[in-house]
Amino acid sequence: MERIIIGSDHAGFTLKEAIKSYLESRGYALTDVGTADTESVDYPDFGCQVAEEVAGGKYAKGILVCGSGVGMAIVANKFPRVRAVLSMDEETARMSRLHNDTNILVLAGRRTDIETARRIADTWLSTAFESGRHQQRLDKISELEKRLCPQS
């Protein structure tokens, strides 16, 4: 099984812990960058750690959790080579992998129950990128990243 990096803020901590345990029980190796409890923290600190490792190629996939999922998705998508998706359902998770080859899954800790999050994660992790006509679209995104961030 593949290695996954995971992180959350205080609002996503409980769901992160549940997803982490679930995925480890299914054989995934997870690296948890925090947070370690429900004490208030700043979500960009943890979103950046996960996104930087995925952008740099150390991990092929990451998972982030915050209260709404919105903040983590914004942070992660600032990084070149990161395609993060905020997913509230299995269909979004599936389509994001099929068509967009997303590499970070973002979950909403205050809006997603544990069972739904497990199904979303399973779907996202088991769905392969279709490539084909979708690859040319990702190539356009890569070209845009090169133009906007030439040093990356």
Which tens digits make up the pLDDT trace of 39-74?
Answer: 999 999 999 999 999 999 999 999 999 999 999 999
Q: Domain 3-148: give its CATH code.
A: 3.40.1400.10
Q: Name the residue ranges covered by the structural domains of the chain.
A: 3-148
Catalytic residue among 10, 99, 134, 149: 99
* Structure tokens belonging to residue 126: 């088991």
Assess whether 134 carries a catalytic annotation. no
CA atoms within 13 Å, Cβ hemisphere of 14: 12
3-state helix, strand, coil in the chain (%, to 5): 50, 15, 35
Query: Global pTM?
Result: 0.96
66 catalytic per annotation:
yes
10, 48, 66, 134: the catalytic one is 66
Determine the Cα–Cα distance for residues 94 and 56; give it in Å rounded to an integer.
Answer: 24
Render each residue's pLDDT in the chain as its tens digit; 152 residues: 789 999 999 999 999 999 999 999 999 999 999 999 999 999 999 999 999 999 999 999 999 999 999 999 999 999 999 999 999 999 999 999 999 999 999 999 999 999 999 999 999 999 999 999 999 999 999 999 899 888 87
